[in-house]
Amino acid sequence: MILVYGLGRSGLGVLRFLKARGLPARFHDDRPKKEEVAEALALGFQEDPDPQGYPLVVAAPGVPLAHPRLSALREGGAEVIGEAELAYRMSQTPIIGITGTAGKTSTTLFTAHLLRGQGLGALAGGNVDPPLVSVVDEAEVAVAELSSFQLERVVRFRPRVAVLLNLGVDHLDRHGSLQAYHGAKLNLLKNLTPEDALVYNEMDPKVREAALTSPARLYPFAPGETAKETNLRAALEATRAYLDLLGRSLDEGALRRSLETLPEPAHRFQTFARKGKVVFIDDSIATRTPSVAAALGAAPPPIAWILGGEDKGADLEPLRPLLPRVRVVLAIGRDGPRLARALGGVEVVEIPEKDGRAAMRRAVAEALKRLEEGSVLLAPLAASFDQFRDYRDRAQAFREAVLEMGGEPWTPSSS
């Protein structure tokens, strides 16, 4: 009997994956959502309110490894793994694994797109929608975006191509130290063999150091002038590496056609609506200081900045020079008010609503009271899990609130 610990997107995907194999399982969630429990029950699985005595536990990424219940289950003899490890163990589909502090989603989508252009049945999943377990059985090759939360619980997981983009600062609230965070990321490399490939950023000293100790075939890339160019270079090397493993050469004509139709990742500084002279920008993925700084520098001023959620150890200092562009900070979630007050030098409106959608409606309303032109920017600098399922759910709540309050869909021709 398997225990699936934590529902949400990943846990429900795992239950569907197990059901397809006829494997028995139960589920547990510390903060169960009625609709997710209903879906799990409809799949034929039962809830366990006090789980113990399981040999195998598949824990959702949002559940820390040090969680007391997971620790008790391990002490009782359970092996605790995650979605990526489960997919690797139970499917024969080769996996391309992609991680890094920044650029994972774009590189994952680009790589799958380029591989499809070469005639391969590549599907993307993992930290990006959908879960890896939801695509691995249908794919000829699965391209997996892997977060540190997922990689901290891999054991035997071995991608045929590993892509390591960069090692910066993030998730210190979860991992406790930069060393532990980097260690989780580097788990992507730990089982590579000379039969596998490693694509790596040769200009990141920590990445290069790790790559040069790997037995895998090495495919270095240099960053481009923009984030998109950097991610595309990594994706191209990942495509070359996988084709090399298959003994195939790159079809240059097909590559040119693929480059003309690259996918655009959602919720990354997307202007999606306007109301009068105010535009609304969804950058829900911006949870790190460099991403938020870029958003504040690019959004049309004056800016009503929606900030907050679960603080991951944000560095506020680089943001202070950009505050003259900000008219007001709308502070949502558990840590938004504290972060906003620590910035100083700007008006702060604390949004008290605990419910995420109610908070987002209030934030948009407060923004529109203060702006006659400029932009309302969702660039939260924090994780979403205190009020939302994930950053996508947070983005959807923002978009719904804007449209409810009279925002009209934006197109480049309407600017």
279 touches 410 (CB < 8 A): yes
Residue 269 tokens, joined: 């500084």
Is 367 annotated to bind a ligand? Reply is: no
Tell me how crowded residue 53 is: count the other CB atoms within 10 A of its CB.
11
Contacts of 333 (CB under 8 A, 6+ apart): 308, 309, 310, 356, 359, 380, 382, 386, 387
Closest C-alpha among 66, 43, 131, 142 to residue 97: 142
Backbone Cα Rg of the chain? 22
Q: Which residue has the tokens 């908070």?
A: 359
Q: How far is Cα 326 from Cα 213, in angstroms, rounded to an integer?
A: 46
Is 104 annotated to bind a ligand? Reply is: yes
Is 102 annotated to bind a ligand? Reply is: yes
Residue 289 tokens, joined: 């200081």
Specify the DSSP class assigned to residue 324.
G
326 touches 346 (CB < 8 A): yes
Q: How far is Cα 282 from Cα 284, in angstroms, rounded to an integer?
A: 6
Is 100 annotated to bind a ligand? Reply is: yes
Annotated binding site for ATP: 100-106
Q: Which residues are annotated as a binding site?
A: 100-106
